[in-house]
Amino acid sequence: MSEVDVMNAPESSAWGDTAGGEKLLRVENLSVDFPTDDGVVHAVRDVSFTLGPGEVLGVVGESGSGKSVSSMAVMGLLPKTAKIGGSIKFKDRELVGLSYKQMQPVRGNGVAMIFQDPMTSMNPVYTVGWQLAEAHLAHHDVSKKAAWAKAVEALELVGIPQPDRRASQYPHEFSGGMRQRAMIAMAIINDPDVIIADEPTTALDVTVQAQILDTLLRIRDETSAGIVVITHDLGVVAGMVDRVQVMYGGTVVEQGTVDEVFEAQRMPYTVGLLGSIPNPNLLGKRLTPIKGAPPSLMNLPQGCSFSPRCPLAIDECRETEPQLLETDRSGHFARCHRSAHLATLENPQRLFAHDEIGVVENPASLTTANPGMPIAEDVDVVEARLHEGENPTS
């Protein structure tokens, strides 16, 4: 965190940037409420982060944790009924309060988004090249021929072979991975400063996932765009992001460099999230994700919203909501009353009972791939250990 950021940052929030310098995006205490007939949905609360040129931020959390809603707020794409609080600055220009029309020059040109489902975001009746060219023409006063050339160039940049020929094809003629690449081409057609990729690899196989993430990094290298990658799976972003922001119940619960967060979690939810990373080296069943359900965003529990599922919860947790504060490690923030206690635990993974543990074929490869993962050399050994009557909270 730079000195300037420390001075400007509100006490209770973490900017989480370690690089300092120019910022493309500055989100401060963002909140989004949706009034509904049944009550108010508090979809996003007290979310702050910054993004500089060439930086890659990972946003991770279970379904419904507010990942997409916060990015839609940045894009100015929330329904009119949404109540937005806090501040979203793109290159020092405040975006909160701008109308859909006022946001038009920023959207696509300044900040572009790759959506969760490429099939619903591309029009099946127009060729891929035509859709890309139209998106370019919407922001640039160029000839149709020049826009088409730009479309072909964008397809080439995202690694689509024979981009000339492919540009004349329809979305359904593309494979899933190709369509996702075409969506990335759509996002970069106007050379945006910031790219938000919302679950860009969901429903793709592991090899294609890796190619898509590589493509995003290559674009970052070539254009210096700042990139936000949203995902359920901490494993997906492990090798690619600089910083990671873990979301739970609509707010940020842990934030730091990816190494810090992988090496030493300071909030139990992140510990559980790491334990539920699926791993191809595990034969048989997957590790069990955290038990219980995410909180209702209409009736958030008093105190820490993770307390009903947290193996470390004490009375204080159920009474007072923790603030996002810097931990014992500089630049590493956590929203947890017991983060100092968590730091003393030798094997925090044991906090979550893994009753569906698989057999590890190659333990050495597992530790390299996911350093935080528990390792079970033998199912019997693990089961015996789990039944030893250990008290994980001690």
Ligand X SMILES: Nc1ncnc2c1ncn2[C@@H]1O[C@H](COP(=O)(O)OP(=O)(O)OP(=O)(O)O)[C@@H](O)[C@H]1O
- Summarize as ranges the residues that interact with ligand SF4 (CB under 6 A): 267-268, 304, 306-307, 310, 312-313, 317, 322, 336-338
Binding to Mg ion by residue 215, rule CB under 5 A?
no
Binding to Mg ion by residue 231, rule CB under 5 A?
no
Q: Closest separation between CB of residue 10 and ligand SF4, Å?
A: 20
Q: How far is it, in rounded angstroms, from Cα 161 to Cα 152?
A: 11
Q: Closest separation between CB of residue 49 and Mg ion, Å?
A: 17
Sign of CA dihedral 381, 387, 393, 394: negative
Task: Tell me which residues touch ligand X (CB under 6 A).
Answer: 34, 36, 41, 43, 61, 63-69, 79, 232, 297
At what angle are helices 206-223 and 144-157 packed, to 10 degrees?
Answer: 120
256's CB contacts (< 8 A; 6+ apart) are 16, 243, 244, 329, 331, 332, 333
Q: Which is nearer to ligand X, 79 or 284 (CB)?
A: 79
337 binds, among ligand X, Mg ion, ligand SF4, none (CB under 5 to 8 A by kind): ligand SF4
Q: Which is nearer to ligand X, 58 or 374 (CB)?
A: 58
Q: Which is nearer to Mg ion, 219 or 230 (CB)?
A: 230
Q: For the chain, where are the E strands, in sequence order?
A: 25-36, 39-51, 56-60, 83-90, 93-94, 111-114, 194-198, 226-231, 243-248, 251-257, 282-283, 325-326, 333-334, 359-360
Longest dimension (CA), the chain: 73
Q: Within 10 Å of residue 250's Cβ, how many Cβ atoms? A: 27
Q: Closest separation between CB of residue 42 and ligand X, Å?
A: 9
Q: Which is nearer to ligand X, 65 or 370 (CB)?
A: 65
Q: Closest separation between CB of residue 319 and ligand X, Å?
A: 25
Quick one: which of 4, 29, 25, 21 has its CA closest to 91? 25
Q: Which is nearer to ligand X, 77 or 325 (CB)?
A: 77
Query: Which member of 31, 68, 131, 270 binds Mg ion (CB under 5 A)?
Result: 68
Binding site for Mg ion (CB under 5 A): 67-68
